[in-house]
Amino acid sequence: MSPIKLDSPASSPQGELSSQEETGKPVLDVATLLKTMDFAATKHENQRRKNKHATPYINHPLGVANILSTYGVTHLATLQAAVLHDTVEDTDTDIEEIAREFGDEVARIVEECTDPPDMSARARKDLQVATAAKKSKEAQQVKLGDKLHNLRSILEDPPVGWTAKRCQDYFRWAKNVTDICLPSLPLIQIPLDEIYLKRHFVLDGKAYKCHPDLGDKTGKISDEEQRRIKSLIEREKREKKRGWESPIYT
């Protein structure tokens, strides 16, 4: 196995890959990406997701970057922006700090992915739909990864206090955003459609279709999905029997 070459981003003429192996296969700038991950982990260190398990918040931006990489994104600045996409909105970070630490291109993408402060949740959602088509390709890709990771999170462990309707409303809204952004990363339509058309989430022992307006209108559920639902219901029963304390979020 040939060693990973850790050049600086500036050495890449495309600004996305640090070097290439003799085979022509690109080698991502691992050192820069690790620095970005460490920065985000520090910024989000006291934050938790709003699910029953109160998972560390950093799992989300790292998961978004991993999704983009899985579906073919190799542009370093885009992957960095995926890792950093919630730092300005949810921590004490500002765009100027992102630019100082990681450069103007990363800062631009992060800024595009940051909702304006002091807006209601409804207004932010409306704004994301209204502006999605105007975003750069890189920002649209981050949006796609962000939505897919959130949808998968709701499938496995819905936020505490959310009703079935609120979860379904999120799936509906997310589809409005992802439909606009899909041309920037067409391959990601496969897992998105799998969720919108076929998947269910579980709340209080009952299964609900993620997007109730789409998919099989007869209500037929595949054997695979029935097994998955059964597993989620059994897990919920075990956890309730064992007992869960209400997690504290910051």
Per the domain annotation, does 2 fall within a domain? no
Residue 2 confidence (pLDDT) above 50: no
**141 phi/psi in degrees, rounded to 5:** -65, -40
Contact 141, 185 (CB under 8 A): yes
Please state, in angstroms and rounded to a whole number, the distance separating the CA atoms of residues 183 and 31: 30
Retrieve residue 113's tokens: 């992915």
Structure-block tokens of residue 204: 């209080």
Mean pLDDT of the chain: 86
Q: What distance in Å separates the CA atoms of residue 4 and residue 144, rounded to the nearest whole number?
A: 29
Residue 228 contacts residue 201 (beta carbons within 8 Å):
no
User: Does residue 233 belong to any structural domain of this protein?
Assistant: yes
* Catalytically active residues, by annotation: 89-90
Q: Is the pLDDT of residue 112 over 80?
A: yes
Gap between the Cα atoms of 60 and 50, Å rounded: 11
Beta-strand pair 206-209/200-203: antiparallel
248 lies in a domain?
Answer: no
Residue 244's pLDDT is what? Answer: 52
Token pair of 163 as six digits: 């009703």
56 backbone dihedrals φ, ψ, rounded to 5°: -55, 135
Residue 247 lies inside a defined structural domain of this protein: no
| In a domain? residue 15 | yes
Task: Tell me the C-alpha distance between 2 and 19, whole Å.
Answer: 13
Name the residue range of residue 112's domain. 9-242
Task: Provide mean pLDDT across the span 104-109.
Answer: 98
Identify the residue with better confidence: 242 or 111: 111
Q: How confident is the model at residue 19 (pLDDT cuts 50, 70, 90)?
A: very low
Mean pLDDT of 209-216: 88
The residue ranking higher by pLDDT, 177 or 119, is: 177
pLDDT in tens, 27-53: 568 999 999 999 999 999 999 898 888
**pTM of the shown model:** 0.84
Structure tokens at 198: 């076929």
Query: What is the pLDDT, as a whole number, of residue 130?
Result: 97
Higher pLDDT, 159 or 218: 159
| Strand, coil or helix: 48 | strand
31 within some domain: yes
In the three-class reduction of DSSP (H, G, I as helix; E, B as strand; rest coil), residue 159 is classed as strand
What pLDDT shows up at residue 243? Answer: 64
Q: What's the CATH number where 178 sits?
A: 1.10.3210.10
**Nearest-5° Cα angle at 41, 201 to 142:** 55
Paired tokens of 147: 């939505």
- Residues 68-98 have pLDDT tens digits of 999 999 999 999 999 999 999 999 999 999 9
Domain total of the chain? 1
Q: What is the spatial distance between Cα 132 and Cα 176, in angstroms, rounded to a whole number?
A: 9
22 CB-contact burial (10 Å; exposed 0-12 / middle 13-18 / buried 19+): exposed
